Every structure is written in structure tokens, then in C-alpha cells.
Structure 1
């Protein structure tokens, strides 16, 4: 709301629910974070750890909505799980346990710490030249929080890296085609966003794209 748009919460939908009807009613798609993970079969991966939480109903909803929204040039912003959903929906794959993958750091939060520490700045990301995030930040690097166990393995079709962590893990992506606003980030910019100009700028950029689409109807 601070960005000047009205959010409408969508529940998980039945597999046969017509996405066209839903997307005709909105001017943007915001994919939130979650404690659950995308089921590995969606990207051809094995189940490495059966104890990891999944949400097949959400998968069935978001993995259909993402390509449909792109086709209609509906602006989209995705965070955390949503970031991973965007990658999978476009044919990419995921690392199910980044902290157990050679060459990568542990990107999980300390769950015993206070929330302000868990969601506080954790590491730098380098922002791609000419990217949306570089324009928002006005800098080559920014510090972001880090609360994820999974991450991108293979980049989805049509996606380009917007931000990369020091260990090489892709932490933000956008669509290579510039006519459609799609920005997805691994971190949580919603945490105290109005106190963080970079985080706030992400939401304002998304809101501006939503308003532009609404005005063009």
C-alpha cells in the first residue's frame, strides 16, 4: 500500500481454474515467500530430503499463472519462494540444499536469533550493469538479507541475472525482453521496506509498472 497499489490475496486454485478470467481482473502479480518449497518433479529433480515442506496446491497455481502473466505482459514481482517459482515455471532448476552444494555458502538464517537479526543485512550482492536493480540502488553492490536453503541451479528460459552473491549464486532475475516487467529476488525486501530505500524502491518500481498497465487498458 505504501507504493500506492491495492493488494488482493489469491488462494491456491483448482488445476482447471481458468487463469484468463483471473488475470483479466488484475494489473500485476506478486508472488510471496513461503516456508514451503517447489516440488522437485516440476524441474526434473529427485526428492533429496522428504522432510522438506512442499505445497503442491500453490505449485499448481503459480506455475500456471507465471507464464500466463508474461504472455499478457502483466507486471510481476516475486520474492523468495516466488523467485524460485519464476525460475521453475520458465524451465529452470533448483539446488535443494545450497549449504550442501560445493562452492556455495550457507544462505540460511539463524532461526534462534531475533527477527530483526534474521531479516537483517547478511551479505552483499553485485548488481548487473543496465539492470532494474542497479537503477533502483544507484550502486554496483547492496547488502540484502538471506533466509533461504534453496537456490537457482539452472537459469530459466528468457531470464537474465540481476544480482549475484559473492559465492556466485544468482539472487535476482528479470526477463530479458524489456517490454514486460518481471523482477524476482531471493531475499525479502518486504521486511521494514519503508525504512530501506533500496527495498522500498523495488516495490515502487513494481507499482509503477502496474499503474502503467492499468492506465493503458
Structure 2
């Protein structure tokens, strides 16, 4: 017997968005590339894209070819830190988690993506990668400087508490982030990082600062496409019905990124059509 199915509505093409993977994990004796499900859902549902992995293969990734095929890149957070020689700093303390394969992939990828006009959203480690790739520096341990409030997560607290309100930020008027979220009330973000911006890279523009003055968001001046990075984690509580509450600010940020990726996707489709005509 042939079962009749009602025809499905044809869905508009979605942008192809690459997600940066880490390499420091293993499954048994087998190295694996990883990124959290929360980033996949942020891309596929929050940004309305198709999520694909960018493996941490360093020179094994043909970056020029990759960025020509992508409509966006999301640079994820990670337990690891960028190796400090990339920003001309002294070595890390023993026991600091690093991922040199990821460094070797994402730092040149950022340059290639900017040059190709691929929208980028950097989150936490991704925020720090963008600053370092473009020539900026980092504080390796914010809490030892005596200048900043506590930004580290309390790992003994429940997960929902760790990703809840950490501190407020001040969004800089007239910037890219202010165009995404222009409401006057204080904006709360989560805070789960030990490192932070020491010197902002040339060409980057501050989009938001914490109560203590630490840079919490920036954009790239003159970039041909959406190029924004945030120190907090908007991928966690952006959606309605989340167990610990919905953050509409996070949803707006992911939506703006998704719209930028969709614009590039449509432009690439037009270009392919013109070539095939």
C-alpha cells in the first residue's frame, strides 16, 4: 500500500555557518574534534542556519576555499586558552589548558574570513581569538591585576546559576551592538572567563564594557560584513522556555548574526546564478 504524504512547504535556503571545533579531547585513545550542542542549536535555531564543523586541522584546512563556501562563522568558547606567544606574552602557568591545533586554525581563519566578507560572531575564546588574530593582547589572569571585579565562574555553583546574571554591561551608543539592542534598561550578561582584553587590536571598536571598564564586546571598523565578538555566552539562554529564563538580548544578537549570514547566502546564490547563466 502506498502511503500518501501531504506536500511539504518548500523552505527557503538557509545560510551555511561554520562552527570552530576544539581538539584537546579524546574518546578512549582516539583524539576527537568537539564543540557544544548549545553552539549548534544557537546556529541552527537562533541564527536559522545550517551548522557545519570547522575541524582544528591547522594547515590541513584550505582556508581560502573554506571561506568561499561559508556564509558565516561562529567562533566558540572553550576550556582552553590561546597560547600567549601569539600575543607576545610570557608563558602560561603550569596546568593551563591550551589547544595549539585550534590556534593554528582559527587565528588565520579570522583573517581569511574578514578578507572574504564572511560574517563572524566570536564568543568568549572566540572573542579573544579575534582580538589576538588582529594584533591585540590579553590579560592571562584578570583576577591578579587588582583592576577588575571577579569574572570567573563559580564551578561549585549549579550550571543554571553559573550562566545567569554575572554583571551588567554598558552598550556604547551609536555602535553595532546598540543597533541590535537599543533599550535603555541595564543589560545583564553571564561571566565565565579568567582572561580578558589588555590592548584592543588596531581597527577594533569597543561595543560594550563591564562595570569595571573591561571590554566585553567589540566590532571591526570597516569590515565588509557583520564582525562582532562578545566575552559572554549568548548561546546558552537565548531561546524561549529555557529552564533558567529567556534572555531576549541574546536572541536578538543571534538573530542579527543570522540575518547577516542570510544576506551573504543570497549574494552567493545570485553570483552562482550569474556564472551559470
Q: How would you bin the TM-score normalised by the shorter chain? A: over 0.9
TM-score, structure 1 normalization: 0.96
Match of 1:112 in 2: 156
TM-score by length of 2: 0.76
Aligned length: 217
DSSP-derived class of the 1:211 partner: helix
Q: CA deviation at 1:51?
A: 1.5
Structure 1 CA distance, aligned partners of 2:61 and 2:182? 42
Cα distance in 2 between the residues matched to 1:92 and 1:50? 24
* Structure 1 residue aligned with 2:104: 60
Deviations 1:14-41 (A, max 9, x none): 3253211111111111100000000000
Do structure 1's residue 42 and structure 2's residue 42 form an aligned pair?
A: no
Structure (1 or 2) with the larger CA radius of gyration: 2
Choose from 134, 146, 151 the match for 1:102. Answer: 146
> How much does 1:179 deviate?
3.1
Unaligned segments of structure 1, at least 5 residues: none
Instruction: Identify the residue that residue 172 of structure 1 maps to in structure 2.
Output: 217
Unaligned runs of 5+ in 2: 1-43, 240-245, 269-277
1-structure distance, mates of 2:61, 2:233: 29
* Residue 130 of structure 1: how far off its partner (Å): 1.0
- Give the corresponding residue for 2:257: 206
2:237 alignment counterpart:
192
Provide the rounded CA distance (Å) in 1 between the counterparts of 2:221 and 2:183. 21
Whole-Å separation in 2 of the counterparts to 1:164 and 1:192: 21
Other structure's SS at 1:46 match? coil
- Aligned CA-pair RMSD: 1.2
Matches within 5 A, 1:75-86: 75-86=119-130
Match of 1:142 in 2: 187
Residue number in structure 2 paired with 1:155: 200
Ranges of 4+ aligned residues in structure 1 off by more than 6 Å? none
Partner Cα distance (1:131, 1:106) in 2: 26
